[in-house]
Structure 1
Amino acid sequence: MKKLILIAIVVVIGLSGVKAQDPSDKYLEKVSTMDNTLQTLYAVISGEKGEERNWELFKYLFHPEARLIPTGKNSEGLAKARFLTPDGYIEASGKWLVENGFFEKEIHRTVQSFGDITQVFSTYESFRSESDETPFMRGINSIQLLNDGNRWWVINIYWCQESPSNPIPGEFLPQ
């Protein structure tokens, strides 16, 4: 009898259009707009020394095939790129972020969209603590996003740090 009642409840719920909430839906608001998605991206990697990051939320931002691509120079001075999955980024940088403290703040943004795709050049400054006034690093994140009609997905983040030989152009700085 209990089985019949349970089956009847499941059928009624199914027919009423009520669906069980997917556990990952708890973050849906964080990716409902491009602005929310980018704000969450910066916030989720930022934190004081010793503060754990919400890696579940971090991974939720990214499309399953997404990549994080830091660039730099090798020992011969040639440009190089490293391709990481979100899990690879966590493995490579997660411990360092917590041990050192890290805040990345967007200071300027340019956006181009066509159809369902959006390209953002997001200029950032990096700090060890939220109370720091002078950044220890700056650069530009090239962020590719997809809006699938339900949410925004980070497809790629491709970034370059500023250096004396490669200053950030004025067009990508606050006016």
Structure 2
Amino acid sequence: MIKKSLLLFSICFISLTAQSQEKGKDAPKDYSKNVLTIDSTINSLYEVISGEKGKKRDWSLFKFLFHPDGKLITSGKNNESKFQIRYMKPDDYIKSSGKWLVENGFIEKEIHRTVDAFGNMAHVFSTFESFHSKTDDEPFMRGINSIQLLNDGTRWWIVNVFWDNENRRNPIPNSYLPDSK
């Protein structure tokens, strides 16, 4: 009788331990430190989309940064050379760009930032350079991210990221570039 009880206890203990370990695997990561400040939120945005060729991105963190109604807004000219914008939810961005980022390598570095904040809202103009690898000497693209954020009293949320890329006709103004000293 004692052997049967001990055997039953052992089986239950092993089963509960396995269930506990399995739950631990599925438990969501705690990303709260990534959204405590404007700096940590913006830095996390750049870090999560950046990586060498073949490096998987933490798309759970990417989605965590955005308000549930948050958007990414890209701008550019269409086939008729008319300026247009395209709105994406974080999942749309992942679907349209995620594979390309991993296959080609994409490192986006912030080179200048201006922040205007009032109450629970902030607007960040963040100038960036993009590389395929950390070893690249020259960026293949530069531009400005216009990032709107909301603080709900506990954390910062990205509400929108609206960006435009630099080109010959649209150079980045000196006021949005690092000081040349």
- TM-score bucket of the superposed structures, by smaller chain: 0.7 to 0.9
Deviations 1:7-44 (Å, cap 9, x if unpaired)?
xxxxxxxxxxxxxxxx5571000101110000000000
Q: Which amino acid aligns with 1:121?
A: F
The alignment covers a number of residue pairs equal to 153
Matched residue, 1:116: 120
Who wins on radius of gyration, i.e. which is larger? 2
Deviation for aligned residue 1:133: 1.7
Matched residue, 1:66: 70
5+ residue gaps, structure 1: 1-22
Deviations 1:74-114 (Å, cap 9, x if unpaired)?
11211110000000000000000000000000000011111
- Check the 8 A contact 1:103/1:129 in 2, yes or no: yes
5+ residue gaps, structure 2: 1-26
State how 1:11-160 maps to structure 2 within 5 Å.
26-160=30-164
Matched residue, 1:167: 171
How well do the aligned residues superpose, as a CA RMSD in angstroms? 0.9
Partner SS, residue 77 of structure 1: coil
Question: Structure 2 CA distance, aligned partners of 1:24 and 1:66?
Answer: 20
**Which TM-score applies when normalising by structure 1?**
0.86
Question: Which 4+ runs in 1 deviate beyond 3 A?
Answer: none
Deviation for aligned residue 1:144: 0.1
Q: Which amino acid aligns with 2:51?
A: G
